[in-house]
Structure 1
Amino acid sequence: MRLHQGCTDCLISRVEYESRLCTDDPARIRAIVEACRELLARSLADPVPAPVIASRVHRLAYRMLGSTDPYRALKQANNGDALAVCRRVRGSLATFHDLVLASVIGNTLDYGSKAHTVTDDFVGFFHREFAFGLTVDDTDRMEPLTARVVYLADNCGEIVFDALLAEHLRKSGSHVTFAVRGAPILNDATIEDALALGLDRRVDILTTTTDGIAELGLNRDLLPPILADALDRATLVIAKGMANYESLSDEGDLPPVAYLMSVKCGPIGADIGIPVGSRVALLRE
């Protein structure tokens, strides 16, 4: 999925947001925003998926900020919130459908979209959303395909619920390869976050890039060979979040892909044909 013209304001707003996490110097923030705006303008015509361009912009912002992880405190807070919810609800999450829904609700812990805000009461929010259920529900078609799963993770916070789903799959006989970011970008989960949750004791963990490259979504030009091999052998790819959807939705040489996400912006909602705010478990074969 290509970057839409309307996505530029959203992307630049995230640059300003992460800049303010690191500095309160207005002149410095303006300089970073302007440099990122110029890079974005030069990149708009590139025939690449939207996350490739967004990643270039965020990497520039991080270099100018002198920070490798502006969202570190927010990521830790998100994981804490999700763990608190998890302790209260995991006993009632018994089925593949339940755990997919919990993982999709967890995807709302996201600072990547201007149009989306993160709730201050995630416990209450989780219970309300769980009762509402999924807007698009292909879980019955997904579950039989789970012999070998490549699980493309997205944000911190939701990774707590991803871990529950991955563990359920493993206990059901699936082989699960869990892929996280190769370096910090936005509030996406990295190997550090996965290890902190003990995921290495449950599933195989890989990164989506090598050499410390920070990249949103799944850029197949940067895939480590071991992850490329896992994708080739997978019976199902679970792709969490909008960036993974943007990366893979135009690809034609993949196993069946289960897109699990909360739809937080108009272009992705329009691409799927559903309204913003939808909770999605969409299978594309």
Structure 2
Amino acid sequence: MLYAPECGPCLKRQIQEAIELVGAKGDLADKITQVTEELFAQQDKFSDGLEFAAAIHQVIAEIAGSDDVYKELKDASTCQALILYPKVKEAIQKQDSPLVGALKVAAAGNIVDAGAVGLDIPIAEVVHAAVTEPFGRDDSARLIAELTAAQSILIIGDNAGETVFDRLLLEIIQEQLGKKDVYYAVKSAPIINDATAEDAVAAGLDKVATIFDVGAALPGMVFQRTSREFQRLFAKADVVISKGQGNFEGRAGMAHRPVYYLLRVKCGPNARALKVPPGTQVLVRLP
């Protein structure tokens, strides 16, 4: 991610929300504010915005003494998504193309993003509307053709809760196109509300995919920081689908092979990069 002017205020909002989530008050809140302000003064030392954001959230977790600051929010998002799941799947199965409907819902599920959106996330409203909402950029026909021919699929996951709609997508893929070897990549440790293996299992993804640890815990994809095992899987998978803004922001590291980016655009820098308005659902193949 190239650090844009809008990223600073967004990160500062995240700091205040994290202070709220850990219940920090008085001296503890002041210490978090002071240390993160010191990091802002040193931001030029970081290779990119994803590394900087990771440092911000890691220092908050250390000061607060919490190894998963967003756990309650992640659990609540997953629970809410699981409640929505049966009716959303029923609506998808009534579409002329259930697979396109499932792709739209998986993109809409990317609204569950505490980093970009905040703590008040309108999951039900966005997901129900998504079934009939067009993609702002739409490579779905090409993706479906590649999925049809593929034996192996890698999905690079993003946020907890969103994981439920990714599970739904994988169920529809296998119902429509037959059995595939499916891998679902997650973060190696908690960072913001990004999904870990524990979050993926809570969403039921272990029933439809092999859960695969990327070997890094950053709020997005910094490919050079991932494990060799993940890099080998990334290289050999027939189709790669990358979910969410953070992974899209790390696209430069994944440019050596075609990747389908499936997300809901939530901020100005990504809207400009994709040439669509904020709030747009996107499915685009790069390069």
| Cα displacement (A) at 1:199 | 2.0
* Aligned-partner Cα distance in 2 for 1:77–1:186: 14
Counterpart position of 2:18: 18
Distance (Å, rounded) in 1 between the aligned partners of 2:184 and 2:56 = 26
Structure 1 match to 2:286: 284
Where does residue 78 of structure 1 map in the other structure?
77
Percent sequence identity over matched residues?
A: 28
Q: Which TM-score applies when normalising by structure 1?
A: 0.90
Match of 1:241 among 231, 241, 244: 244
Which residue of the other structure, out of 148, 165, 174, is the alignment partner of 2:180?
174
Deviation (angstroms), 1:166: 2.0
Question: 1:131 and 1:83, CA in 2 relative to 1: closer, same or farther beyond 3 A?
Answer: same
SS of 1:188's equivalent in the other structure is coil
Check the 8 A contact 1:12/1:37 in 2, yes or no: no
Structure 2 CA distance for aligned equivalents of residues 238 and 60 of structure 1: 31
Contact 1:115 1:264 (C-alpha < 8 Å) held by counterparts: no
Provide the aligned C-alpha RMSD in A: 2.0
Q: Partner residue of 1:159?
A: 163
Q: Paired residue for 1:268? A: 270
* Secondary structure of the structure 1 residue equivalent to 2:241: strand
CA distance in 1, matches of 2:129, 2:255: 36
State how far apart, in whole Å, the 2-side matches of 1:3 and 1:193 are.
29
In structure 2, the partner of 1:190 is 196
The question of 1:52 aligning with 2:51 is answered yes
SS at 1:131 equivalent: coil
Structure 1 residue 114: Cα displacement: 5.6
Q: What CA distance in whole angstroms lies between the structure 2 residues aligned with 1:283 and 1:157?
A: 24
Gaps of 5+ in 2: none
1:131 paired to 2:135: no
Displacement after TM superposition at 1:250 (Å):
5.9
The count of corresponding residues between Structure 1 and Structure 2 is 278
TM-score (normalised: structure 2): 0.89
> 2:102·2:169 contact (CA, 8 Å) conserved in 1?
yes
Q: Is the 8 A contact 2:222 2:253 kept in 1?
A: no
What CA distance in whole angstroms lies between the structure 2 residues aligned with 1:160 and 1:279? 18
- The CA distance in 2 between the partners of 1:279 and 1:117, in whole Å, is 19
